[in-house]
């Protein structure tokens, strides 16, 4: 379905819209409403004051604002020496911010992303550009204060975004972006602005979640991560050029630090693994690989094995290879995988799908969890499931959220698809708000065993509604699947609800494309499907009539005092 975009502003949007519409295959196809084209108004604040109902009735997927015309007058005032005082400038700036906040509040009932676009001025600091001696803010200082204030609004309002085009313009050159013959207090786009259209594509994909975040990057080696082919030159003669491949390794190191898994799939002899890893270590110290496959199988087969081992979606894996044959075969056999050539390294750090919302302690050590999981599987091979779980020496805690856990809880809510009953994507601010609500409980689940620490792997959000306790969200990281963590958590929450004298626990299950496993977990814990509509199934547990399942036997039973842990307050 086409996104419907609502542009409220002046001619600064014209070439953006024209550029996007000129190539829907390259960018995206959309419909739109444009206030300047519709009624000739360039001020979004006055337009909304007069025509708010018109905007609300068109039900846009995204609203994009611009205060460019208002800023243009203030920048012109600085350049033409018409500023009376810094106090006057501060007053003007506060007026812009108040207008923006007013528009956010007006549009909030739409419950859609609202974006403020900012075009930089490239002819700034012409006077006093080496040493500022004026008693007033120069253009650069004024714009810096404006940008800072806008960024503060993005923190205050979760659905508000600030699109600062300064960076993308500087990367491609201001002379390639703006008309050179405009007055110095203007900033009009020169057509075609292909890089700005691409930035809008990234933005819309990001705010509408049209592209999944990448969780794992798989790279080829020969002629991708170094110059040459191992079979031709030998490991000892491989070349990593400082101006080409060295950059590739640096990018992988940064992605790894962001919590993105890094793996290798290369058509080479497996006996070379030790030598190759020793060579790589010189260029990628401190980065662990989640997989390192050297063999002569088709790469798509290797990647499928990795995907099943990691238990993540194919659409969250990126594959990079210099060979067109390998890329096309991967696209054909596994079309959900994101496939690119080695030139993508120049963009990887910039693309939204490679930028996690949060970088937590768990995300920074994510590869270690998968390495530990391989050790678990090796130990399990000679034992039955129950025997293996019994000797894992599990430790588990279900307790109320602590302030330092907010980022990790938000990360799990944003990322988890399979073991997730609601698929609601609460923001950090919403989690903080819930934690302060007396009628809401947020439980966190932390797990460790003799192989290592899983970290915070589960979240349960419950609301008190009279004599009913409603589980709004229940989710778990896939890395604890089939260990009984889900059962332990539900038993803990049901015991808690019983102690608090609730009659019933209900859970609204949102049917998603990948979360069917959670229905099985609910049924195994004696939840009964009691109602249904197009989007939700309602599961219930009668605390007065039904018996709560005991804790799985391979977990240590909670101590009497420990069972009261969930009653702690944040």
Segments making up each domain of the chain, as ranges = 4-207, 216-354, 361-567
Q: How confident is the model at residue 64 (pLDDT cuts 50, 70, 90)?
A: very high
Lowest mean pLDDT of 121-130, 199-208, 290-299, 516-525, name the range.
Answer: 121-130
Residue range 293-306: mean pLDDT, rounded: 94
Tell me which fold the domain 361-567 belongs to: Aminopeptidase (3.40.630)
- Does residue 336 surpass a pLDDT of 50? yes
How sure is the predictor about 386, in pLDDT bands with cuts at 50, 70 and 90? confident
Q: How far is CA 360 from CA 188, 272, 278, 404, 405, in A?
A: 41, 35, 29, 10, 9
**So what's the pLDDT on residue 57?**
94
Q: What is the mean pLDDT of the segment spanning 148-174?
A: 90
Instruction: Give pLDDT, residue 178.
Output: 83
Alpha-carbon distance values, 89 to 66, 70, 136, 143 (Å): 19, 13, 8, 11
Mean pLDDT across 483-490? 92
What's the rounded mean pLDDT across residues 436-452? 91
Evaluate if residue 357 carries a pLDDT over 60: yes
Q: 561 pLDDT exceeds 50?
A: no
Residue 368 has pLDDT above 80, yes or no: no
Q: Where are the beta strands (DSSP E) in 291-439?
A: 291-295, 317-320, 338-340, 395-400
Residue-level pLDDT at 478: 80
Phi-psi sector, 189: left (phi>0), alpha (psi -120 to 50), beta:
beta
pLDDT over 50 (residue 516)? yes
Give yes or no for residue 457 having a pLDDT over 80: yes
Structure tokens at 131: 């040493």
- Tell me the mean pLDDT in the region 343-363: 84
Q: What is the DSSP string of 78-138?
A: HHTT----HHHHHHHHHHHHHHHHHHHHHHGGG-S-EEEEEPPPSS---SSSSS---SS--
pLDDT-derived band at 373, boundaries 50, 70, 90:
low
Q: What is the pLDDT of residue 375?
A: 58
pLDDT over threshold 70, residue 224: yes
Tell me the pLDDT band of 559, cut-offs 50, 70 and 90: low
**Cα–Cα nearest to 154, from 215, 213, 207, 86:** 207
pLDDT beyond 60 at 362: yes
Rounded to an integer, the average pLDDT of 283-305 is: 88
* Cα–Cα dist 20/227, whole Å: 37
In the prediction, which pLDDT does 417 show? 83
pLDDT at residue 436 tops 60: yes
Number of other CB atoms surrounding residue 550 within 10 Å: 9
pLDDT band at 565 (very low <50, low <70, confident <90, very high): very low
* b/e code 449-466 from CB counts within 10 Å (16+ = b): bebebbbbbbbbbbebee
Confidence of residue 167 (pLDDT cuts 50, 70, 90): confident
Calculate mean pLDDT across residues 55-80.
92
> pLDDT band at 564, cuts 50/70/90?
very low
- E-state strands within 367-439: 395-400
Q: Tell me how far apart the alpha carbons of residues 263 and 293 are, in angstroms, rounded to a whole number.
A: 8
Q: What CATH number has the domain spanning 4-207?
A: 3.40.50.1110
Domain range 216-354, its CATH number among 3.40.50.1000, 3.30.530.20, 3.40.50.180, 3.40.50.1370: 3.40.50.1000
* Whether pLDDT at 396 is above 70: yes
- Is the separation of the CB atoms in 119 and 187 below 8 Å? yes
What's the pTM? 0.69
- What percentage of the chain reaches a pLDDT higher than 90? 55
pLDDT for 291 beyond 80: yes
Give the residue-averaged pLDDT of 11-19.
89
More confident residue, 237 or 443: 443
Q: What is the pLDDT of residue 568?
A: 35
Mean per-residue pLDDT of the chain = 88
Alpha carbon 198 to its chain's center: 19
For 541, residues 6+ apart whose C-beta sits below 8 A from its C-beta are 494, 504, 505, 506, 525, 526, 527, 528
The residues near 31 (Cβ < 8 Å, ≥ 6 apart) are 2, 3, 4, 5
Largest Cα separation within the chain, whole Å, is 83
Q: Which residues contact 74 (CB under 8 A, 6 or more apart)?
A: 89, 92, 93, 96, 142
* Helix 68-79, helix 86-107: angle, nearest 10: 180
Asked if the model's pLDDT at residue 204 lies above 50, the reply is yes
Give the single-character DSSP code of 228: S
The pLDDT value given to residue 535: 75
Q: What is the pLDDT of residue 378?
A: 57
Please state, for a pLDDT cut of 70, what percent of the chain lies above it. Answer: 93
448, 495 Cβ separation under 8 angstroms: no
- 216-354 and 361-567: same fold? no
pLDDT in tens, 123-154: 776 677 777 778 888 888 899 999 999 999 99
| Torsion, CA 480, CA 484, CA 488, CA 490, rounded to 10 | 80
Cα distance between residue 31 and residue 21, in whole Å:
9
Stretch 95-103: mean pLDDT:
96
């Amino acid at each position: 379905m086409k996104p419907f975009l609502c542009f409220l502003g002046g001619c600064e949007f014209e070439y953006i819209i024209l550029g996007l519409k000129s190539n829907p295959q390259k960018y995206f196809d959309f419909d739109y409403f444009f206030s300047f084209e519709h009624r000739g108004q360039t001020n979004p604040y006055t337009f909304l004051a007069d025509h708010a109902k018109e905007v609300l009735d068109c039900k846009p997927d995204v609203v994009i604002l611009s205060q460019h015309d208002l800023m243009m007058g203030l920048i012109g005032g600085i350049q033409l020496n018409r500023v009376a005082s810094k106090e006057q400038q501060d007053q003007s700036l506060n007026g812009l911010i108040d207008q923006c906040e007013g528009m956010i509040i007006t549009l909030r009932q739409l419950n859609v992303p609202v974006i403020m676009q900012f075009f930089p001025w490239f002819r700034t600091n012409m006077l006093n550009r080496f040493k500022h001696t004026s008693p007033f803010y120069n253009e650069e200082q004024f714009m810096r204060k404006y940008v800072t204030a806008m960024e503060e609004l993005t923190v205050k309002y979760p659905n508000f975004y600030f699109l600062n085009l300064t960076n993308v313009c500087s990367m491609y050159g201001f002379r390639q972006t703006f008309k050179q013959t405009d007055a110095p207090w203007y900033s009009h786009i020169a057509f075609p602005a292909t890089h700005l259209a691409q930035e809008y594509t990234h933005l819309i994909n990001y705010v509408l979640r049209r592209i999944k975040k990448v969780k794992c990057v798989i790279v080829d080696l020969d002629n991708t991560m170094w110059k040459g082919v191992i079979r031709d030159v030998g490991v000892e003669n491989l070349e990593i050029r400082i101006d080409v491949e060295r950059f590739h390794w640096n990018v992988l190191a940064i992605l790894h630090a962001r919590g993105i898994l890094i793996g290798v799939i290369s058509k080479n002899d497996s006996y070379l693994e030790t030598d190759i890893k020793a060579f790589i270590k010189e260029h990628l110290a401190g980065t662990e690989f989640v997989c390192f496959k050297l063999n002569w199988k088709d790469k798509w087969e290797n990647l499928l094995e990795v995907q099943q081992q990691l238990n993540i979606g194919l659409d969250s894996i990126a594959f990079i290879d210099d060979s067109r044959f390998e890329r096309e075969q991967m696209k054909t056999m596994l079309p959900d995988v994101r496939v690119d050539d080695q030139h993508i390294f120049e963009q990887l750090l910039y693309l939204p799908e490679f930028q996690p919302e949060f970088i937590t302690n768990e995300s920074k050590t994510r590869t270690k969890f998968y390495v530990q999981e391989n050790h678990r599987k090796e130990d399990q091979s000679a034992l039955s499931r129950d025997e293996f779980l019994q000797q894992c020496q599990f430790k588990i805690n279900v307790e109320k959220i602590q302030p330092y856990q907010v980022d990790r809880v938000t990360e799990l809510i944003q990322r988890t698809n399979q073991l997730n009953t609601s698929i609601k994507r609460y923001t950090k601010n919403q989690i903080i708000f819930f934690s302060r609500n007396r009628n809401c409980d947020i439980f966190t689940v932390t797990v460790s065993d003799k192989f290592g620490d899983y970290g915070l792997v589960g979240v349960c959000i419950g609301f008190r509604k009279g004599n009913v306790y409603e589980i709004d969200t229940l989710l778990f990281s896939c890395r604890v699947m089939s260990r009984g963590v889900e059962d332990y958590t539900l038993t803990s929450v049901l015991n808690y609800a019983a102690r608090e004298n609730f009659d019933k626990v209900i859970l609204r299950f949102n049917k998603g494309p990948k979360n069917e496993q959670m229905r099985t977990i609910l049924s195994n814990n004696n939840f009964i499907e009691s109602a249904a509509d197009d989007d939700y199934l309602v599961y219930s547990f009668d605390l007065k009539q039904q018996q709560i399942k005991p804790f799985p036997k391979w977990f240590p039973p909670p101590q009497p005092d420990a069972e009261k842990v969930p009653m702690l307050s944040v």
